[in-house]
C-alpha cells in the first residue's frame, strides 16, 4: 500500500519513539521509528489550540489513526512550539483519578 503525504514526525507519549506520520483518509498511519535528531520542530505562528492538558499545556488535535502493526487507536496532536505527539486515544480521552480530564476542550478567552 502506498503512503499518502507525510504529515509530520511525531513522538509517542509513552515510548518516546519518533514515527513518520502519513495522511490516510481522515486519519493517519504512523510508520517506522525515526532516530532522534532526524528532524527539528518549527514553531507555528497562529497556532489554534483545541485542548488544554491538566498541567496547563495547550495542544491541537489533528487526527485519529494507528501505528503500523498495532491495533490501538492513537491521537495525533501538536503544541504551538512545533512538537507533534502520539498518544493512545483512550488515554487522551480519559479522566484522572480526581475526575479531571487529562485533556479538556480548550475554550478561548473572550472579552465583553
Cell representation of residue 55: 498541567
Residue of 32 and 92 predicted with greater confidence? 92
- pLDDT at 38 (0 to 100): 54
Domains and CATH numbers, the chain: 6-35+42-105 (2.30.30)
Find cell 494507528 and name the residue. Answer: 66
* Percent above pLDDT 70 for the chain: 78
User: What's the pLDDT score for residue 89?
Assistant: 96
Q: What's the confidence (pLDDT) of residue 34?
A: 62
Which one is predicted more confidently, 55 or 32? Answer: 55
Q: What cell was used for 36?
A: 532522534
Check residue 16 and give its pLDDT. 76
Please write the tens of the pLDDT for every residue from 30-40.
776 666 555 55
Element (H, E) at 74: strand 74-79
Model pTM?
0.71
- pLDDT, residue 1, reads 42
Task: Read off the DSSP letter of residue 55.
Answer: T
Amino acid at each position: 500500500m502506498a503512503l499518502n503525504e507525510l504529515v509530520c514526525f511525531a513522538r509517542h507519549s509513552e515510548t518516546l519513539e519518533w514515527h513518520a506520520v502519513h495522511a490516510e483518509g481522515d486519519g493517519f498511519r504512523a510508520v517506522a521509528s525515526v532516530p532522534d535528531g532526524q528532524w527539528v520542530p518549527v514553531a507555528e505562528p497562529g497556532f489554534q489550540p483545541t485542548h488544554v492538558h491538566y498541567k496547563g499545556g495547550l495542544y491541537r488535535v489533528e487526527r485519529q489513526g494507528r501505528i503500523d502493526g498495532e491495533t490501538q487507536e492513537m491521537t495525533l496532536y501538536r503544541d504551538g512550539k512545533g512538537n507533534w505527539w502520539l498518544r493512545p486515544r483512550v488515554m487522551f480521552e480519559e479522566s484522572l483519578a480526581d475526575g479531571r480530564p487529562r485533556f479538556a476542550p480548550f475554550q478561548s478567552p473572550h472579552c465583553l
